[in-house]
Amino acid sequence: MRSAARAAVATPRFVIDSMLGKLARWLRALGYDTLYFKVAEDRTLLQLAHAEARTLLTRDTRLARLAGARGLLIQATEVEPQIVEVIERLALTPASDDLLSRCLECNARLADRPKESLKGRVPEYVFATQDRFVGCPGCGRIYWRGSHADRILARLGRVLGARS
Ligand SMILES: [Zn+2]
Protein backbone atom coordinates (compact mmCIF):
# COMPACT_ATOMS: atom_id res chain seq x y z
CA MET A 1 0.00 0.00 0.00
CA ARG A 2 2.75 2.38 0.96
CA SER A 3 4.53 2.15 -2.38
CA ALA A 4 1.25 2.49 -4.31
CA ALA A 5 0.44 5.63 -2.36
CA ARG A 6 3.87 7.06 -3.05
CA ALA A 7 3.60 6.41 -6.75
CA ALA A 8 0.29 8.23 -6.85
CA VAL A 9 1.82 11.45 -5.54
CA ALA A 10 2.09 13.86 -8.45
CA THR A 11 5.39 15.57 -9.12
CA PRO A 12 5.11 18.98 -7.47
CA ARG A 13 4.92 22.09 -9.59
CA PHE A 14 5.91 25.55 -8.45
CA VAL A 15 5.21 29.21 -8.86
CA ILE A 16 7.98 31.38 -7.47
CA ASP A 17 7.86 34.84 -5.95
CA SER A 18 9.74 37.47 -7.98
CA MET A 19 12.49 37.80 -5.35
CA LEU A 20 13.53 34.14 -5.71
CA GLY A 21 14.73 34.05 -9.32
CA LYS A 22 17.86 32.02 -8.58
CA LEU A 23 15.82 29.37 -6.79
CA ALA A 24 13.48 29.18 -9.80
CA ARG A 25 16.41 28.38 -12.12
CA TRP A 26 17.68 25.69 -9.78
CA LEU A 27 14.27 24.04 -9.52
CA ARG A 28 14.10 24.03 -13.32
CA ALA A 29 17.60 22.51 -13.41
CA LEU A 30 16.23 19.75 -11.17
CA GLY A 31 13.44 19.22 -13.71
CA TYR A 32 10.51 20.74 -11.80
CA ASP A 33 7.82 22.67 -13.65
CA THR A 34 8.47 26.13 -12.22
CA LEU A 35 6.79 29.40 -13.14
CA TYR A 36 8.71 32.57 -12.44
CA PHE A 37 8.13 36.16 -13.51
CA LYS A 38 10.51 39.05 -12.87
CA VAL A 39 7.46 41.16 -12.15
CA ALA A 40 4.16 39.71 -10.96
CA GLU A 41 1.44 40.85 -8.66
CA ASP A 42 0.78 38.77 -5.55
CA ARG A 43 -2.76 38.24 -6.79
CA THR A 44 -1.49 36.65 -10.02
CA LEU A 45 0.87 34.33 -8.12
CA LEU A 46 -1.95 33.24 -5.81
CA GLN A 47 -4.28 32.60 -8.73
CA LEU A 48 -1.68 30.46 -10.50
CA ALA A 49 -0.94 28.51 -7.33
CA HIS A 50 -4.59 27.61 -6.87
CA ALA A 51 -5.68 27.22 -10.50
CA GLU A 52 -2.74 25.01 -11.47
CA ALA A 53 -2.16 23.29 -8.10
CA ARG A 54 1.30 24.80 -7.76
CA THR A 55 3.22 25.37 -4.55
CA LEU A 56 3.93 29.06 -4.10
CA LEU A 57 7.44 29.64 -2.77
CA THR A 58 8.04 33.02 -1.18
CA ARG A 59 10.04 34.80 1.53
CA ASP A 60 7.10 37.11 2.17
CA THR A 61 5.23 35.95 5.30
CA ARG A 62 2.09 37.78 4.28
CA LEU A 63 2.00 36.17 0.84
CA ALA A 64 2.74 32.73 2.30
CA ARG A 65 -0.17 33.17 4.71
CA LEU A 66 -2.49 34.23 1.89
CA ALA A 67 -1.50 31.13 -0.10
CA GLY A 68 -2.53 28.90 2.81
CA ALA A 69 -1.86 25.21 2.18
CA ARG A 70 -0.47 26.11 -1.27
CA GLY A 71 2.24 28.34 0.16
CA LEU A 72 5.69 27.55 1.47
CA LEU A 73 7.60 30.25 3.33
CA ILE A 74 11.30 30.11 2.51
CA GLN A 75 13.54 31.03 5.44
CA ALA A 76 17.02 30.81 3.93
CA THR A 77 18.49 33.86 2.23
CA GLU A 78 21.09 32.12 0.03
CA VAL A 79 20.10 29.94 -2.90
CA GLU A 80 21.84 26.68 -1.90
CA PRO A 81 20.22 26.46 1.56
CA GLN A 82 16.96 27.46 -0.14
CA ILE A 83 17.13 24.42 -2.43
CA VAL A 84 17.83 22.16 0.53
CA GLU A 85 14.93 23.78 2.40
CA VAL A 86 12.47 23.12 -0.43
CA ILE A 87 13.66 19.55 -0.93
CA GLU A 88 13.44 18.73 2.77
CA ARG A 89 10.19 20.50 3.60
CA LEU A 90 8.39 18.91 0.63
CA ALA A 91 10.26 15.60 0.86
CA LEU A 92 11.22 15.87 -2.82
CA THR A 93 13.20 13.15 -4.53
CA PRO A 94 14.66 14.74 -7.66
CA ALA A 95 15.12 12.09 -10.37
CA SER A 96 18.49 12.07 -12.09
CA ASP A 97 16.71 11.54 -15.44
CA ASP A 98 14.99 14.89 -14.97
CA LEU A 99 18.13 16.90 -14.30
CA LEU A 100 18.59 19.61 -16.91
CA SER A 101 15.40 18.55 -18.72
CA ARG A 102 13.88 22.05 -18.67
CA CYS A 103 14.89 25.39 -20.08
CA LEU A 104 16.40 27.46 -17.26
CA GLU A 105 15.07 30.64 -18.86
CA CYS A 106 11.48 29.77 -19.73
CA ASN A 107 10.63 26.41 -18.09
CA ALA A 108 9.71 24.55 -21.31
CA ARG A 109 10.71 20.90 -21.57
CA LEU A 110 13.84 20.51 -23.69
CA ALA A 111 13.79 18.24 -26.71
CA ASP A 112 16.64 16.41 -28.45
CA ARG A 113 18.07 18.26 -31.45
CA PRO A 114 19.94 16.32 -34.13
CA LYS A 115 23.51 17.57 -34.26
CA GLU A 116 23.49 18.05 -38.03
CA SER A 117 20.61 20.53 -37.77
CA LEU A 118 22.73 22.83 -35.59
CA LYS A 119 25.71 23.47 -37.83
CA GLY A 120 26.29 27.22 -37.78
CA ARG A 121 23.86 27.71 -34.90
CA VAL A 122 26.30 26.87 -32.12
CA PRO A 123 29.95 27.92 -31.77
CA GLU A 124 32.26 25.88 -33.99
CA TYR A 125 34.32 24.41 -31.17
CA VAL A 126 31.13 23.31 -29.44
CA PHE A 127 29.88 21.66 -32.61
CA ALA A 128 33.22 19.90 -32.98
CA THR A 129 33.45 18.66 -29.40
CA GLN A 130 29.85 17.93 -28.35
CA ASP A 131 27.58 15.17 -29.65
CA ARG A 132 24.34 15.60 -27.78
CA PHE A 133 22.25 18.74 -28.00
CA VAL A 134 18.85 19.70 -26.69
CA GLY A 135 16.76 22.69 -27.64
CA CYS A 136 13.99 24.72 -26.06
CA PRO A 137 10.73 24.75 -28.04
CA GLY A 138 9.72 27.88 -26.08
CA CYS A 139 12.59 30.34 -26.58
CA GLY A 140 14.77 28.48 -29.08
CA ARG A 141 17.85 28.24 -26.86
CA ILE A 142 20.19 25.35 -27.60
CA TYR A 143 21.86 23.54 -24.70
CA TRP A 144 24.72 21.10 -24.72
CA ARG A 145 26.52 19.14 -22.13
CA GLY A 146 29.48 21.48 -21.85
CA SER A 147 31.32 22.79 -18.86
CA HIS A 148 28.29 24.82 -17.80
CA ALA A 149 26.08 21.76 -17.45
CA ASP A 150 28.86 19.90 -15.69
CA ARG A 151 29.24 22.76 -13.22
CA ILE A 152 25.50 22.79 -12.55
CA LEU A 153 25.44 19.05 -11.98
CA ALA A 154 28.48 19.17 -9.70
CA ARG A 155 26.93 21.95 -7.66
CA LEU A 156 23.60 20.12 -7.45
CA GLY A 157 25.40 16.98 -6.31
CA ARG A 158 27.19 18.98 -3.63
CA VAL A 159 23.99 20.67 -2.47
CA LEU A 160 21.99 17.44 -2.43
CA GLY A 161 24.84 15.50 -0.83
CA ALA A 162 25.28 18.09 1.91
CA ARG A 163 21.89 17.46 3.39
CA SER A 164 22.46 13.78 4.23
ZN1 LIG B 1 13.42 28.38 -23.23
Residue pLDDT, tens place only, 15-70: 999 999 999 999 999 999 999 999 999 999 999 999 999 999 999 999 999 999 99
Ligand 1 centroid–CA 66 distance in Å is: 30
Distance 105 CA to ligand 1 centre (A): 5
Ligand 1 centroid vs 138 CA: distance in angstroms? 5
Tell me the CA–centroid distance for residue 103 and ligand 1, in Å. Answer: 5
pTM (two decimals): 0.85
The pLDDT tens digits for 92-121 are 888 877 888 999 999 999 999 999 999 999
Amino acid at residue number 136: C
Centroid of ligand 1 to alpha carbon of 137 (angstroms): 7
How many angstroms separate the alpha carbon of residue 68 from the centre of ligand 1? 31
pLDDT in tens, 116-136: 999 999 999 999 999 989 999
Task: For the chain, report the end-to-end CA distance as a whole number of angstroms.
Answer: 27
Which candidate, 160, 111, 162, 116, places its Cα nearest to that of 140?
Answer: 111
Query: CB neighbours of 29 closer than 8 A, spacing ≥ 6?
Result: 99, 100, 102, 104, 152, 156
Q: What is the mean pLDDT of residues 138-154?
A: 83
Give 18 Cα–ligand 1 centroid separation in angstroms: 18
CA–centroid distance, residue 9 to ligand 1 (Å): 27
Instruction: Please tell me the distance from the alpha carbon of residue 60 to that of residue 37, in angstroms, as a whole number.
Output: 16
CA 91 to chain centre: 16
